Amino acid sequence: MVSTLEPKQTFLQLPSDQDASGRTLGADEIKLVTEAIASGTLTSTKGNFVKALEQDFAKLVGAKHAFACASGSAAVHCAIAAINPEPGDEIITTSVTDMGALAPILYQGAIPVFADVNAKSWNVTAETIERCISDRTKAIIVTHLFGNPCNMTKIMALAERHNISVIEDTAQAFMAQHNGQYVGTIGTIGCFSLQQGKHITTGEGGIVVTNDDALARHMWLFINKAWGYGDPQPDHYFLSLNYRMTELQGAVACAQLPKLQGVVEKRRALAAQLTEEIIRIPGIIPPWHSEKNTHSYWKYCLCVDGDRIQGGAVGLANWLKGERGIFSAPRYIQKPAFRCEVFRDQRTFGNSRFPFTLARPEAVDYSPAKFPGTFAGLEHVLVLPWNENYSQAHIDYIAGSIKDAVKALS
């Protein structure tokens, strides 16, 4: 009997940053991890790998101080703790970001105040931040989303006028530049992530950088339970946690760091190739960045015109997955951060709702009318998978798939 089943469709497998196919992990990392294990010293308080990472990273980005910690979220927490807000102080942040960059604000008793984003770059701007400033504003957190820098010139000018500290969330923007300067070193403190999917990885891990000696001291202490290692009469000087990175992670990071520049350069070159292939497709807008910026392409993000493409970003994502096996992320975070239950229902410490009980009504007003850029940006964005191990064949496959999808959905 002849089968009536259609032959199973085969797809070109794209390298993934969730396994070895899309990572630069290999013999170098194995060698240094082996050395760490052989030493028998896996704590960074006694070992050498984490210290070497900190010195090398500070030198690479041009910062005076760099400290490794347990995660990107821990890095943000260290930065906020160093700024030392009073309970009820406000920290302006973005409506389009990961919870790991938001929860530390609440843990330090401060109120997150969400600024709208530009619908084209998905970043906060000086204009959207200024609308959120009050006499309670203690700091501004700017997120360089997808590796595309914010306009730090205008943001820093605004912050300086109001005497407000700026924390840069650079988790997705290793080696990205604004006006020739690495992001993460422009503001008061820069925070980096070494999580599995970042430009370089230790599975989990983070780094904080600053040029301020007092803030550096506070962050170093905060990583170490506020214990003054090496002080004449050490003590636990204030409330803090153990956010140390292990020597195993430090060894991996020491092997990863020399590869970082090449990783970013490869991603940029691949992005330029894909942009050239899709820039004339109706209804598809490639990633935008200012001429003042150098993008580092953590992800490659399309803006999809729903008036020209049936189903918009969601429809395009479904077609790419079903017809070509390309898994992408429409809307990126699905909904603005302020619509997550922790903010919407103020679920924090027991039933206390703290620190929201200290908030001004305006600070927790999440009316959609205040966030036109956020809702428009999330509606149109489609985040493509991306890493440095793509070949020309992979780029051609993605570009051809997008072209076929648009023809089918137009």
pLDDT in tens, 300-316: 999 999 999 999 999 99
Q: Which amino acid is at 21?
A: S
In terms of CATH, what superfamily is 260-333+374-409? Aspartate Aminotransferase, domain 1 (3.90.1150.10)
pLDDT over 80 at 9, yes or no: no
Tens-digit pLDDT profile for residues 82-111: 999 999 999 999 999 999 999 999 999 999
Domain boundaries, the chain: 21-259, 260-333+374-409
Give the pLDDT confidence score for residue 5 in this predicted structure. 44
Query: pLDDT by residue (tens digit) across 19-57?
Result: 999 999 999 999 999 999 999 999 999 999 999 999 999
Quote the CA–CA distance of 394 and 389 in Å, as a whole number.
Answer: 9
The answer to whether the 21-259 and 260-333+374-409 domains have the same CATH topology is no
Provide the CATH topology of domain 21-259: Aspartate Aminotransferase; domain 2 (3.40.640)
**Three-state secondary-structure class, residue 104:** helix
Dump pLDDT digits (tens) for 133-162: 999 999 999 999 999 999 999 999 999 999
Q: φ, ψ for residue 358 (rounded to 5)?
A: -100, 0
Per the prediction, the chain carries an average pLDDT of 96
Q: Residue 299 and residue 116: Cα distance in Å, rounded?
A: 21
Q: Give the pair of three-digit tokens for residue 300.
A: 């490659």
Peptide bond between residue 385 and the one before it cis (omega within 30 degrees of 0): no
Catalytic positions, please? 198
Q: Is 29 helix (H, G, I), strand (E, B) or coil?
A: helix
Q: What percent of the chain has pLDDT over 90?
A: 97
d(CA 394, CA 404): 15
Q: pLDDT tens digit string along 253-304? A: 999 999 999 999 999 999 999 999 999 999 999 999 999 999 999 999 999 9
Dist. CA 331–CA 313, nearest whole Å:
7
The letter for the amino acid at 279 is I
Say whether pLDDT at 10 is over 80: no
For residues 341-360, give the mean pLDDT.
Answer: 98
Say how many C-beta atoms besides its own lie within 10 A of residue 59's C-beta.
Answer: 10
